[in-house]
Amino acid sequence: MINELQQLFIQAFPELDASGQQQATKLYELLAKGQPVPVAQLAEEISLTEDETAQLLHSWTGVSFNDEKLINGFWGVSTDETGHRFHIGEQTLYTWCAWDLLFMPHLFHQTVEAETSCPITRQSIRLTISEKGIEETQPEAPLITFIKPDLEALKANVTHSFCQYIFFTASEEAGKEWKETQKDGFLISLDQGFELGQKIISQVFNAKK
């Protein structure tokens, strides 16, 4: 199942050549400043015209804009407040789902402090995550709620088709209670979620040339 999920999400990500990897990385760097990004600013950073940059963004899945047509999210990273947050230095950023938190050390190459909450108990869950793995969690053994989304639905709207179902549960008991509400849902461990995220980011940003 994990390998199947890995291939599913790799297909959903934009297919990036070496230039595309650099452009996507630059977008993440701009979002990491904590403010929505004007298309013109990204265009300047990646040495394209504003029209070319708009076309590029339109060709990518997983890009979101606010009402002012500023880029406020890209594949998991959001400048808009959600129930899942992480810290880079003094900056607070957000993710579309709890699982996205485990991607952040791979994207930004640094340890992050993250916080979310259990959908069943509403208990706060805090994590320290490095590129090597989960360094610390409070409580100790949360699980990840998961579904297997349809690929085309994932490409069309990842937040609606997938992210709204993905949380950390504070305990195995809470996870079982969540499963009772989702007939096709299942649970994976934090370590499995971290490894899956690491493989996806590695292949998207390193293997595609």
pLDDT, position 70: 98
For the chain, the helix, strand and coil percentages under 3-state DSSP, each to the nearest 5: 45, 25, 35
Contacts of residue 54, defined as CB under 8 A and 6 or more positions apart, other chains included, come to 39
pLDDT, position 149: 86
* Rounded mean pLDDT, 178-194: 93
Q: Do the domain assignments include residue 38?
A: no
pLDDT tens profile 67-99? 999 999 999 999 999 999 999 888 999 999 999
Is this structure's pTM higher than 0.85? yes
Give the CATH number for residue 189.
Answer: 3.30.450.410
Q: Is the pLDDT of residue 61 over 70?
A: yes
Q: Do the domain assignments include residue 97?
A: yes
**Using CB atoms within 10 A of its CB, is residue 184 exposed (0-12), middle (13-18) or buried (19+)?**
exposed
Nearest to 169 by CA among 101, 76, 98, 85: 98
Reported as a pLDDT band with limits 50, 70 and 90, residue 203 is confident
Q: Is the pLDDT of residue 208 over 60?
A: no
Share of the chain above pLDDT 70, in %: 99
Beta strands in 97-202 (DSSP E): 112-117, 124-130, 133-138, 143-146, 168-169, 186-189
Q: Is the pLDDT of residue 55 over 90?
A: yes
Q: Do the domain assignments include residue 186?
A: yes
Contact present, 94 and 84 (Cβ < 8 Å): yes
Distance CA 100, CA 117 (A): 14
Q: Is the pLDDT of residue 12 over 90?
A: no
Q: Is the pLDDT of residue 209 over 50?
A: no
The dihedral sign for the CA sequence 98, 88, 134, 206? positive
Q: Indicate the number of domains in the chain.
A: 1
- Of 203 and 38, the one with more pLDDT: 38
Q: Do the domain assignments include residue 169?
A: yes
Distance CA 169, CA 160 (A): 20
Contact present, 169 and 116 (Cβ < 8 Å): no
Q: Do the domain assignments include residue 41?
A: no
Least confident stretch, 10-19, 37-46, 80-89, 141-150: 10-19
Please state whether the peptide bond connecting residue 139 to the residue before it is cis, i.e. omega within 30 degrees of 0. yes
pLDDT, position 205: 84
pLDDT, position 155: 87
Q: Do the domain assignments include residue 118?
A: yes
The chain-wide mean pLDDT, for the chain, equals 93
Domain hosting 200: range is 2-15+75-207
Q: Do the domain assignments include residue 126?
A: yes
Distance CA 61, CA 65 (A): 12
pLDDT, position 207: 46
Q: Do the domain assignments include residue 167?
A: yes
